Amino acid sequence: MAEARSAGARIRSEVDGAVAVLTLDRPEKLNALDQTMMAGIEAWVEATEADRAVRAAVITGAGEKAFSAGGDIAAWAGLDPVDFMRGWIRTGHRVFDRLARLRQPLVACLNGHAFGGGLELAATADLIVMEAHGRIGLPETGLAMVPGWSGTQRLVRRYGSRVVKRMALAGEMFGAEEALALGLVDKVVPKGEGLAAAKALAASIASRGPVAVQVTKQLINAAEGEEEAAAIESVAGALVAFTHDLKEGAASFREKRPAHFEDR
């Protein structure tokens, strides 16, 4: 039985067994992202990270047309350059970085088009399911803008510079089958079947050893340059946490005496 949860305005969330689902709920605006939605996404990450019963997650959009058309122009068009940089670009980077580094594997369900910031959002996921009618692209330069939420960084690390240049410089948009052939998405399903497919994939992930899955995700992220320093330190910290040395070091501190470490 799925448990519905409040996640703020224009965001819906639920937990179905061991799978958390986040839905961008602004279909009348093609799920375009504004500051309120970004705050909701960040709050959802916080809650999902803390829920030990959740082993995998899904992010999708409401409606049939779009996963997300990207950043809402009305939300940023009136900002001055400083506020645009500090309050829009940096906020987006912070939120998307947290999504990409979510301890649970994340599956994106592209229930329709993913353009600009919507594609950058999808790229934070570990796996992507796309419905057959959707298209993806980075149209920013056609608006005299540059991709601002890691389209020139995370997308290049994950998909390669040449295909990103086709989208960002030449304005190419790819349908689902071409996106699959280029490695931009992992699975294509008929219209209306994306969420079920994404949930099934997340449930399969959730059935595996949770600690091994989370550590493996972190190591793969490190190989991509996503969180290399954190991965090294967290794995090293977990290793020494089980040693006699740490127990002795902690005991000596509590007992205010010199530590007596065993020879190795």
Calculate the alpha carbon distances from 106 to 73, 74, 137, 149 in Å. 27, 29, 21, 18
Sheet containing 187-189: which strands, arranged edge to edge? 2-6, 11-16, 19-24, 56-61, 106-110, 127-131, 187-189
Please identify which of the residues 131, 140, 226, 227 carries the catalytic annotation.
140
Active site residue 120: yes
> Which DSSP string corresponds to 117-181?
HHHHHHTTSSEEEEETT-EEE--GGGGT----SSTTTHHHHHH-HHHHHHHHTT--EEEHHHHHH
Give dist(CA 211, CA 231) in Å, integer.
14
Instruction: Name the catalytic one among 120, 131, 226, 227.
Output: 120
Question: Tokens in use for 121?
Answer: 């959002």
Amino acid in the structure at residue 18: A
> Contact at 8 Å (CB) between 97 and 164?
no
Where are the alpha helices (H) located in 57-129, listed in sequence order? 73-76, 81-83, 90-100, 117-122
Q: What Rg value do the Cα atoms of the chain yield, rounded?
A: 21
The Cα–Cα gap between 9 and 26 comes to 9
Structure token pair of residue 102: 């979510």
The encoded tokens of residue 65 equal 């047309």
N-to-C CA span, the chain: 51
Task: Give the residue numbers annotated as catalytic, written as ranges.
Answer: 120, 140
